[in-house]
Amino acid sequence: MGQSSLNRMKIQIPNKVLTFVAGIIIWESAAGVVNSRSFPHIGGVLFDLVELLKTFEFWKSLVVTFNLTLIGFAIGAGFAFALGLATALNKKLDLLFSSSITFLRSVPSVVFLPLLIASIGASSRTAIILTALVVSLKLVIFVSRGVLETEKEHIEFAKLYHLSFFATICNIYIPSLFSVVSTGFRLSASRAFGTVIASGIIIGTPGLGRDLLFAESNAEYERVFSYVIVLGIVGTSIYSTFNIIESKFIHWRVNV
């Protein structure tokens, strides 16, 4: 280990400790100001969090939440790729869909929830459909921009080698658009997770969102905070994972 990395470690450790201490001071000050059972002290919440992590129901809910997020994300991403490629490669299709996409993007996704409950009921399917809708509307713009930013030389190259339409998409457009879409993946994965949680809170679809709402309605205040901490950890992990993948991908792209 070099001298510079040792110095960096010396600086990093106190900063992390300072962040931790600052977090506790902010929490305890807020608890002191609110001075109510509904804003518990950090010790009680951490104790409850440990208890929560020991329960089977928690892990089951976590797995359900992940499953719904992944399925909704995959469907939404597939749809966004198809629509984004079609609208970017065909001006008429772009004009055809742009006004509808603009309108749907302006409507907060949760207002579709009552509509979905009315038509298909409050089930896991509702959460998946809403998540897919949110992801596709978020990602379609990135896919479209990625295709439009493809370098002209690469497209000429495809023409020169008489690549078929599908070969051009697979070998020219998709590799080129991934650097733009990776940012879209990161943002829409966080949004997908948020949408599954929102479905749980608003209409009671299975998962951590529903558990959080149950804790709130049963006035289990420590549990409410425990769930919110867990959601923060999961949210940060999703964002960081995509960030790492994105930086690795850009690294690969620069090397090429």
Partner 1 sequence: MIKRLSQIVWSLFLPSLVLISWQLISNYSPNPFFPPPSRIVTALREVVSVDWILTSVKSSFIVLFAGYFIGAILGLLFGSLLGEFIKMRIIFLPICNFVRSIPSIAKVPLILSIMGLGLSTRISTVAIAVLFPVLMSTVRAIAATKSELLDLNRTLRFGRIRGLVTIRIPAAIGEILTGLHASVQVAVLAMIVSEMLGSGVGIGAFIIQSQSTFRIANMWVGVFIVGLIGIALNYMFLKIERKSAPWYFKSKGLM
The residues of the shown chain that bind partner 1, judged by CB under 8 A, are: 15, 18-19, 22-23, 26, 34, 36, 38-39, 92, 95-100, 102-103, 106-112, 114-115, 117-119, 190, 193-194, 197-198, 201-202, 209, 212-213, 215-216, 219, 221, 224-225, 227-228, 231-232, 235-236, 239
Helix-strand-coil percent breakdown of the chain, rounded to 5?
90, 0, 10
Q: What's the rounded Cα separation, in Å, for the pair 203 and 116? A: 10
- Comparison of 90 and 164: residue with beta carbon closer to partner 1: 90
- Comparison of 43 and 114: residue with beta carbon closer to partner 1: 114
> Minimum distance from CB of 96 to partner 1 (Å)?
5
Q: What's the rounded Cα separation, in Å, for the pair 82 and 12? A: 45
- Comparison of 55 and 102: residue with beta carbon closer to partner 1: 102
> Minimum distance from CB of 205 to partner 1 (Å)?
13
- Comparison of 54 and 92: residue with beta carbon closer to partner 1: 92
Structural contact between residues 138 and 188, judged by C-beta atoms closer than 8 angstroms: yes
> Minimum distance from CB of 240 to partner 1 (Å)?
9
> Minimum distance from CB of 117 to partner 1 (Å)?
7
219 conformational bin, left if phi > 0, alpha if psi -120 to 50, beta if neither: left
Query: Which residue in the block uniquely carries the two structure tokens 């733009």?
Result: 180
Phi then psi for residue 108, to 5 deg, are: -60, 130
Does an H or E element contain 242, and which?
A: helix 221-255
> Minimum distance from CB of 20 to partner 1 (Å)?
9
> Minimum distance from CB of 127 to partner 1 (Å)?
13
Q: What's the rounded Cα separation, in Å, for the pair 115 and 118? A: 5
> Minimum distance from CB of 161 to partner 1 (Å)?
31
- Comparison of 158 and 203: residue with beta carbon closer to partner 1: 203
C-alpha distances out from residue 229 to 8, 49, 50, 114, 124, Å: 29, 8, 12, 28, 24
Residue closest to 208 by CA, chosen among 191, 232, 187, 186: 232
Scored b (16 or more CB within 10 A) or e, 6-19 reads eeeeeeeeeeeeee
- Comparison of 55 and 218: residue with beta carbon closer to partner 1: 218
End-to-end CA distance of the chain: 30
- Comparison of 149 and 175: residue with beta carbon closer to partner 1: 149
